[in-house]
Every structure is written in C-alpha cells, then in structure tokens.
C-alpha cells in the first residue's frame, strides 16, 4: 500500500484554496503525475462535484457520481453519525452513537429519512442509472474534503462491490486521522492539504466556501457532458 500523497507546503495550513474549482485543478495536476489505468472519476455530491469535474476534465476521464449520504444527527443537520450507500448498506459511527445516546427508534428514523433523500438524488443526478460492473476499471473517488470519513467509506465499499480493481481517493483537504483510516481501504489517498489539529472543518481549507446546490450540480454535469462530446477535437477544457 502506498503512502499518502500530499502537498508538503500545504500541511496544517488553512484557506489554501480559493474555491472548489481551484482545488480541483491543483488536485488534477497531482494526479497527472501518477500512472493510471483505465479509470472513472466518481464524485460524491454535492461538494465533490465541482472538484471532480476539474479532475475528470483535465485527465480526460469519464465522470460519474456515487450517491452516498451522511445519516444526520436528529438535532443537527450539519453533523452525522454514519452514512448510507447506494445499495442501502448502513455504516454507523458506533462510538458516536453511544456518546449521543441515540435510541433504536431515532437511528431507524434517521436512516429512513436519509434513504429517501438518497433515492431522490439518484433520480435527480443519475436518472437511476445502474452503476454497472467496474471490473477492470480504476475508480478515482473525489470529494471536497475528508472529515469523519464515513460517507467516503460508504462510497468505497460500494464501489468495491461493483468490482473496481483499484481505488484512489482524491481530496483537496482532510484530517490526518481520517486519511489514515481511509488508506486501509484503498490503493492510495491523494490529499493536498493534510491537517492534524482538531476541531477540523473542511470549510477551513477554502477562502470561498458555500453549500453547492442541486442546480449547480446539474449545471456542472451538463457542461461536462457537452465538453466531453467535443473532446476528440482536442480543445475541450474542464468546466469551471
């Protein structure tokens, strides 16, 4: 297993990226130095889509989405106690569940709400297309950052079930403890801005941080598909 690939000058720094697009371009440059086989870039929506579009465009790779969702804490829409994968597989942060004192009914209710949202996103962003067999393909899984890592874990384990032979996680920023956890699941992790200090917030890596809307995701995907259709001309550029 390879070590974490990072940008040493960005270690433990805040606000190193102007926005997700700029971070995606830098991430693409780092990935361009690697030897890649036949690969597909999978974005985790919503925040991972602007980043992944830059990566896929620069590397001239197909772009897809892997729809995973954090299972929200009942009283906090910002924090989660686990994640749900496209096949319905649930991953719980058991130590956090115990600390929060969540009841079985609360857990079941939050999973059901998350499943509804996930199904809506599958219909909106992927038109309920099957993921298909990824055997013989490398998967580059992109998000805008790694905090707890549970949504990423859900994505990785799902893509392994789909048959991907090699998985690379590529993110602009991440908490070192989480990166080390994710490394056990994949071939390598590429993270430009590795940070060790807690509390950790993905947003602290970006000077311009905002919630990516569904309409923005759809616009990026449509623009990417339009540019991809012209890629044979050799003059297409990643959406930005």
Name which of 184, 192, 96 is nearest 144 in CA terms: 192
- The pTM of the full predicted model, rounded to 2 decimals, is 0.90
Q: Is 53 in a helix, a strand, or coil?
A: helix
pLDDT tens for residues 95-119?
888 888 888 898 999 999 999 999 9
Q: Would you state the structure tokens that stand for residue 85, as one six-digit string?
A: 């994968």
* Average pLDDT estimate for 54-78: 90
* Average pLDDT estimate for 86-97: 90
Question: How is domain 8-67+134-231 classified at the architecture level of CATH?
Answer: 3-Layer(aba) Sandwich (3.40)
Q: Would you state the structure tokens that stand for residue 126, as one six-digit string?
A: 């992927």
Please answer whether residues 191 and 182 qualify as being in contact, where contact means their C-beta atoms are separated by less than 8 angstroms: no
- Output b/e per residue, 103-138; b: 16+ Cβ within 10 A: eeebbeebbeebeeebeebeeebbeeeebeebeebb
Please answer whether residues 175 and 184 qualify as being in contact, where contact means their C-beta atoms are separated by less than 8 angstroms: no
* Average pLDDT estimate for 226-234: 66
pLDDT tens for residues 173-212?
999 999 999 999 999 999 999 999 988 999 999 999 999 9
């Amino acid at each position: 297993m390879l070590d974490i690939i990072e940008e040493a000058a960005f270690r433990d720094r805040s606000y190193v990226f102007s926005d997700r697009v700029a971070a995606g371009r830098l991430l693409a440059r780092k990935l361009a130095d690697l030897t890649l086989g036949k690969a597909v870039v999978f974005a985790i929506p919503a925040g991972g889509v602007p980043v992944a579009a830059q990566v896929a465009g620069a590397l001239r790779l197909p772009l897809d989405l892997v729809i995973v969702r954090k299972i929200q804490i009942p009283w906090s829409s910002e924090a989660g106690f686990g994640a749900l994968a496209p096949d319905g597989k649930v991953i719980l942060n058991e130590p956090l569940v115990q600390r929060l004192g969540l009841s079985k009914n609360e857990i079941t209710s939050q999973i059901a709400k998350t499943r509804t949202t996930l199904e809506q996103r599958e219909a909106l962003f992927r038109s309920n297309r099957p993921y298909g067999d990824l055997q013989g393909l490398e998967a580059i899984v992109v998000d805008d950052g790694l905090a707890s890592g549970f949504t990423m874990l859900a994505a990785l384990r799902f893509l392994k079930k789909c048959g991907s032979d090699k998985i690379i996680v590529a993110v602009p920023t991440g908490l070192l403890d989480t990166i080390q956890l994710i490394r056990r699941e994949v071939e390598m992790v590429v993270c430009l801005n590795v940070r060790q200090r807690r509390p950790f917030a993905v947003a602290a890596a970006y000077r311009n941080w905002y919630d990516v809307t569904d309409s923005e995701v759809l616009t990026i995907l449509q623009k990417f598909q339009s540019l991809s259709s012209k890629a044979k001309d050799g003059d297409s550029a990643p959406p930005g």
